[in-house]
Amino acid sequence: MRTSRKIEDKKNYFFELYFNDENILSKKNQQPPLVFILTRRTVLFLFLYLAATTMFFFIGNFQRFLDSNLIIILRTAAITAAALMFFSAAGIIIAAVCCIIEKKAKSYYIIHAILMTVSGIAGTACLIVYRAVDILSQGIN
């Protein structure tokens, strides 16, 4: 009986902490804009897809995939990295605009802008490396 009360108290504590009116984006009218949400999810998807294709490329090198298959994986990863750069830049701009407009949730948008900057830099680095490897794999003619 005592343990169930402790669990109930913890549930109430976390409920109050999470859904309290002082929370940054707790009210329905203070949700982030739909464009920001879609951009954030797109950046997350592209970042994870880029990580998966990178892992697939390295595993393919060790498993001795055919050269044509590795080139397809490289080009897919390069296109994904380019899209990641574009959507990260768009997300940074949207986060900056929302940070200027919103009064309470500035830290929320600043954190997401930093995360999108990091993912954009990672996408840029991957794009440069993948395009270099693709050009070198075609040979000098």
pTM: 0.75
3-state secondary structure the chain: CHHHHHHHHHHHHHHHHHHCCCCCCCCHHHCCCHHHHHHHHHHHHHHHHHHHHHHHHHHHHHHCCCHHHHHHHHHHHHHHHHHHHHHHHHHHHHHHHHHHHCCCCHHHHHHHHHHHHHHHHHHHHHHHHHHHHHHHHHCCC
| 81, 125: one domain | yes
**Residue 47 one-letter amino acid:** F
| 22, 39: one domain | no
| 22, 44: one domain | no
Q: Tell me the average pLDDT across 79-83.
A: 97
Residue-level pLDDT at 127: 96
Share of the chain above pLDDT 90, in %: 58
| 14, 80: one domain | no
| 94, 121: one domain | yes
| 80, 22: one domain | no
The total number of structural domains that make up the chain: 2
**pLDDT band of 95, cuts 50, 70, 90:** very high
Q: Tell me the average pLDDT across 106-126.
A: 93
pLDDT digits (tens, 9 = 90+) for 30-72: 788 899 999 999 999 999 999 999 999 999 989 988 988 999 9
pLDDT digits (tens, 9 = 90+) for 11-21: 666 565 555 54
Share of the chain above pLDDT 70, in %: 79
| 46, 17: one domain | no
Tell me the residue range of the domain where 60 lies: 32-138
